[in-house]
Amino acid sequence: HGDTPEVQALAERIAQTHALPVPWVRRQMAHAVRLDSLSALVLPPATPSAKNWRAYRERFVEPRRIAAGLAFWQQHAQVLQRAEQRYGVPAELVVGIIGVETYYGRHMGNFRLIDALSTLALNFPTEHPRHAERSAFFQAELGHFLAQAHRAGPSALNAKGSYAGAAGWPQFMPSSVAQWAVDFDENGRIDLVRSPVDAIGSVANYLKSFGWVSGMPTHYPVTPPVEPGPLETLLLPDILPSFSAERMVELGATLDAAGQRHVGPMALVELFNGGQTPSYVAGTENFYVVTRYNWSSYYALAVIELGQAVAREMPNKP
C-alpha cells in the first residue's frame, strides 16, 4: 500500500483509538500487500442466484462433515460439556457452527489478514451499494486486528484467514475476538487458530452474549397458512420472532404439540428451494440468536441440523 497520505491518516486514527505507536501502525499498513482480487469477492453478484435450502444443506449436512464432527466431539467432549455448563449453549450447536465455518479447522482461510483487512479498509470497491458503511467497518476491523497483533507479537502479523478478515476455527472477525473470545484452555492467551478449546469456549460465549436461552428449542415444524394475506402478515417481520404460538395458529399456521406449547415469540422462517416449494420452520428467539453469528436463516438451520446429525452419531449420548 505504501506510506500514502491515506495510509498515514488511517494509521493515526487506529493508533489513537487503540493506544498504539503511530510509527508501528504506519509500518504495518505500508507493508501490507493490496489484494485486487478481493473486489470481485465482496461485490454483490450481478445476477443473484436463486436461493436453494436443499442444495445449501447438502453442502454441510453430509457424511464426511458429520464424521469429522463426530471425531471433533469425541476428542473435545469434556471441553464441550464444560462450555455447556458455563454458558448454557448445547455442545451440538457449537459443533454445528465450527463444522459449517471451517470443517473442523480444515478450511480456516489462506489470505494474510493484514493484507485482506488493509485492502478492504483502504480500497473497498466504490461501486458497492454500501461502500461508506463497509469501508468504515473494515477500517475498524483493521484497528482491532493491529491492536491484537501488537499484543501477541511479530508472528501474529502473518496470521491467515478468510478474504473478509475472519480467522481461526470459529472464523471470528477481529472485533468479535476483542469482545467475545475467551481463554478457555486457561493458558494465559486467546488463540482461535491453534486452540480448538479457546474456539469452543468463544463460540459458546458469543451465543450466550447474544441472548441464548438454555433449554429452549431453536425451532419447530410448521405448515404455513394457505391464505396469501395471513402468510404475508407472518412473513413481514422476516426472521425476527414476533408472534406467539396462539397468534400463529389464529393466522392459519399449523404447529405440532410442542410448538403450540412454546412460550415466547416465534417467526415464520421461509427457506426457498429454487423452483420447488419453499421449506418453513417456526424459529424461536434461540433461532434468532444463531443468526447473529451469520445473518442468514439458511446458515442457522444448516448449523443446527449438522449439530443434530453429529449428535445422533454420538455413542452413549444421554
Indicate which residues carry an active-site annotation. Answer: 101
DSSP 136-166: HHHHHHHHHHHHHHHHH-GGGGG-EE-TTS-
User: How many residues does the structure list for the chain?
Assistant: 318
Going from the C-alpha of 284 to that of each of 11, 54, 96, 217, the distances in angstroms are: 43, 21, 18, 7
Q: Which three cell numbers stand for residue 286?
A: 434461540
How far, in Å, CA of 8 to CA of 196, rounded? 37
Q: Which three cell numbers stand for residue 198?
A: 479457546
Which residues does residue 111 pair with via DSSP β-bridges, in sequence order? 161
Whether 159 and 171 have beta carbons less than 8 Å apart is answered as no
182 three-class SS? coil
Give the list of residues 6+ apart from residue 122 with CB closer than 8 angstroms, or none: 1, 6, 7, 10, 34
Nearest to 203 by CA among 88, 59, 72: 88
Which residues does residue 220 pair with via DSSP β-bridges, in sequence order? 282
Residue type, 282: A
Place of cell 494465559: 188
